[in-house]
Amino acid sequence: MTVNSHVHCSLTFYRQAITDCRIRLGKDEMMKEEEEEDEDASSEEFAHPVPWQKIEAEGLDVDYALLFSKDEADYLFKQLEEEVMYSTGEEAKVQVFGKVYNIPRQQATYGDAGLTYTYSGVTRLACPWTPTLEYVRDAVTKVTGHTFNFVLVNRYKDGQDHIGEHRDDEKELDPLCPIASVSLGAARDFIFRHRDARGKQSCRQIEPVKLKLAHGSLLLMNQPTNTFWYHSLPVRKKVLSPRINLTYRRILLDRKE
């Protein structure tokens, strides 16, 4: 199934709310009191429903929407380019089946104080939230009703950078909270493949689900998607510009001991 990246619905009302908040992001302390008075009004605006597109297949349940307009997404991308500090050296490697690899993209982890997340054989400590990561997190919370305490940032410098097939099925992730994936920058293909339909020896024929993740989009991976479906962002040599992806997650604190 191919789902077009454009969601043709009226976003004007919602975009205005996001734009108002974006402008607030850049204001100085003197304006803070005034901004706080505006909080209730903007929450009401955020409560306006986002035009979601539901995508379903056997064991797959995802929602897709354009969360930010082009101008808003451009602004957020630029801010993230200034704020996010990516891992280097040993921190920029992962372990797969006991072998250590350089990751074919840049990565960073941010979140609540002291949180760690273990994936692909490595444990990452969350850096303190930056203003933009916090801002996008709150925008996602306002349209989904879910709260998040962690974000994995992936930066793809161009279409050579990629992420291989994997599932985000770590036990420390709260199963009641979707993984919320915000895309900024170059549009990239994103492919879901059912666990029983992978490789030449696969036991079933199930069509992959292919999306194009647009600049400013939000993809929600709901349960049980990450149990049954792997996802990947394949190499696309024709893509020459960078992309930043933010996957907001909720890590269970009581699973960490």
Ligand X SMILES: O=C(O)CCC(=O)C(=O)O
Contact set with ligand X (CB under 6 A): 152, 154, 163, 168, 181, 190, 213, 231, 233, 245, 247
User: What are the DSSP calls for 32-49, one per residue?
Assistant: HHHHHHHHHHHHHHHTSP
169 among annotated binding-site residues = yes
195 among annotated binding-site residues = no
Interatomic CA distance for residues 90 and 101, integer angstroms: 10
Closer by beta carbon to ligand X, 21 or else 251: 251
Interatomic CA distance for residues 200 and 70, integer angstroms: 40
Please report how close the Cβ of residue 24 comes to ligand X at its closest, in angstroms. 27
Angle (CA) 80-170-137 rounded to 5° is 30
In this structure, the dihedral spanned by the alpha carbons of residues 13, 15, 21 and 27, taken in order and rounded to 10 degrees, is: -110
117 among annotated binding-site residues = yes
243 among annotated binding-site residues = yes
231 among annotated binding-site residues = yes
CB atoms within 10 A of CB 51: 13
Please report how close the Cβ of residue 31 comes to ligand X at its closest, in angstroms. 34
Please report how close the Cβ of residue 206 comes to ligand X at its closest, in angstroms. 19
Closer by beta carbon to ligand X, 74 or else 168: 168
Residue nearest to ligand X (CB): 245
119 among annotated binding-site residues = yes
For residue 131, whether the previous peptide bond is cis, meaning omega lies within 30 degrees of 0, is: no
98 among annotated binding-site residues = yes
Closer by beta carbon to ligand X, 144 or else 225: 225
159 among annotated binding-site residues = no
Please report how close the Cβ of residue 36 comes to ligand X at its closest, in angstroms. 33
Closer by beta carbon to ligand X, 24 or else 162: 162
Please report how close the Cβ of residue 113 comes to ligand X at its closest, in angstroms. 22
Interatomic CA distance for residues 10 and 180, integer angstroms: 22
Closer by beta carbon to ligand X, 62 or else 213: 213
| 93 φ, ψ (degrees, to nearest 5) | -120, 155
Interatomic CA distance for residues 49 and 11, integer angstroms: 9
Closer by beta carbon to ligand X, 106 or else 245: 245
| Token pair recorded at residue 6 | 């454009």
In this structure, the dihedral spanned by the alpha carbons of residues 56, 146, 82 and 127, taken in order and rounded to 10 degrees, is: -120
Please report how close the Cβ of residue 132 comes to ligand X at its closest, in angstroms. 17
β partners of residue 55: 62
Annotated binding site for substrate: 97-99, 117-119, 169
Annotated binding site: 97-99, 117-119, 154, 156, 166, 169, 231, 243, 247, 249
Annotated binding site for 2-oxoglutarate: 154, 156, 166, 231, 243, 247, 249
